């Protein structure tokens, strides 16, 4: 393990923006994590845990502390029955590669979350989800290291406090910044039903009548759908943080008010779409709302600011289209959207990526 100084963080993020880390280290084992944390404590440094870099926005001034990049790899079969398989994956495993592996093994549960950038460790921090699936549905347990005590702990699913795009690990009121994920164990089914309730998936198969829906073809469909909406962030000009905004789940009365407001503004088709999708957007706490809807109808699609812009093909994505955007470009564009959406609809959008450093 080698601790480096003044390392540029741009190449380690999917937005490809941001300044340097004062100290930077890559860790491959639990013991190296403990060693890195101990180094930071001796020097009284702030710590930031870096996974795949896909859900963060690093300040142009960088991070004045120690960035620990977790590279713990490996997958193993923990338990198997006729109905399911429990697979443990290292926190540093690439998420999409792991999904591909489970599909190749004919295991149900992760296929609709194909092509989401990032690593396995981050998947449980944010409770990622896509096209009707969420990580919380398959997570059996999470192994972690307590940053304060350096103890190894295991949280079962029910102890993770999962909710929409949340867990105890990214909740400021609970344990944000207190743990490092080292591995996750998933329980995946050998037999299951494909989740094809989203219109995009149904449209894909209606346009490809010769393709029979199964685990692999649904994964292929998801990849095609996502690639057509926004670029996979594999270089600076395709850089993004994924969905840039989220909003709290709203109650039924608020959901109805949004529909009414859309009708008043002349967006009958969008209002009808929200009516039709009530069942799809229903979650335990109420109704999900799609930030991109508000961004689109307010005319922000394609809006540039400095070297960044909101994609023409997806109103929820800010793209480093120039390849030379600054973090401030991205942040300022986001703030403009947040202010106008709240003024027009009373909906408070929140920045979904974690802000690293000072803004």
What are the residue numbers of the active site?
Answer: 165, 243, 352
Cβ–Cβ under 8 Å, residues 70 and 181: yes
Which among 118, 122, 120 has a CA at the least distance from the CA of 90?
Answer: 120
Apex 35 CA angle, 31 and 39, nearest 5? 170
Report the C-alpha gap between 103 and 111 in whole angstroms.
7
SS3 79: strand
How far apart are alpha carbons 88 and 141 in whole angstroms? 9
Q: Which two tokens stand for residue 184?
A: 């996750």
Separation of alpha carbons 286 and 246, rounded Å: 15
Q: Are 89 and 183 in contact (CB under 8 A)?
A: yes
Report how far apart, in Å, the C-alpha atoms of 134 and of each of 5, 123, 129, 316 are: 37, 9, 4, 19
- How many other C-beta atoms can be found within 10 angstroms of the C-beta atom of residue 295? 26
Per the structure block, which two tokens stand in for 23?
Answer: 């100290």
Identify the H or E element spanning 186. strand 179-189
Nearest CA to 247 out of 127, 166, 130 is that of: 166
């Amino acid at each position: 393990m080698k601790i480096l100084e003044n390392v540029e963080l741009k190449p380690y993020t999917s937005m490809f923006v941001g300044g340097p880390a004062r100290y930077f280290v890559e860790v491959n084992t639990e013991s190296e994590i403990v060693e890195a944390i101990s180094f930071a404590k001796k020097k009284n440094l702030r710590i930031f845990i870096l996974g795949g870099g896909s859900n963060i926005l690093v300040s142009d001034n960088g991070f004045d502390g120690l960035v620990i990049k977790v590279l713990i790899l490996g997958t193993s079969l923990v338990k198997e029955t006729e109905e399911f398989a429990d697979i443990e994956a290292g926190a540093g495993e690439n998420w999409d590669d792991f999904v591909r592996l489970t599909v190749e093994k004919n295991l149900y549960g992760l296929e609709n979350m194909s092509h989401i950038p990032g690593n396995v460790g981050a998947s449980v921090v944010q409770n990622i989800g896509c096209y009707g699936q969420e990580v919380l549905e398959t997570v059996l347990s999470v192994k972690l290291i307590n940053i304060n005590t350096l103890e190894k702990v295991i949280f079962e699913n029910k102890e993770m406090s999962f909710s929409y795009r949340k867990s105890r690990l990214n909740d400021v009121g609970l344990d944000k910044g207190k743990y490092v994920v080292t591995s996750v164990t998933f329980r995946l089914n050998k037999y299951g039903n494909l989740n094809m309730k989203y219109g995009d998936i149904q449209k894909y198969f209606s346009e490809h009548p010769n393709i029979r829906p199964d685990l692999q073809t649904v994964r292929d469909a998801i990849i095609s759908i996502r690639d057509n909406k926004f670029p996979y962030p594999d270089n600076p000009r395709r850089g993004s943080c994924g969905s840039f905004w989220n909003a709290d789940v709203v109650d039924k009365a608020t959901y109805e008010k949004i529909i009414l407001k859309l009708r008043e503004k002349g967006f009958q088709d969008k209002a009808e779409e929200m009516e039709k999708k009530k069942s799809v957007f229903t979650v335990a706490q109420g109704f999900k709302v799609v930030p991109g809807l508000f961004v689109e109808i307010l005319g922000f699609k394609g809006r540039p600011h400095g070297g960044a812009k909101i994609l023409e093909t997806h109103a929820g994505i800010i793209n480093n289209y120039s390849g030379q955007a600054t973090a401030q470009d991205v942040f300022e564009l986001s703030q403009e959207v947040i202010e106008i959406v709240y003024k027009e609809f009373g909906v408070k959008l929140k920045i979904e990526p974690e802000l690293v450093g000072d803004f």
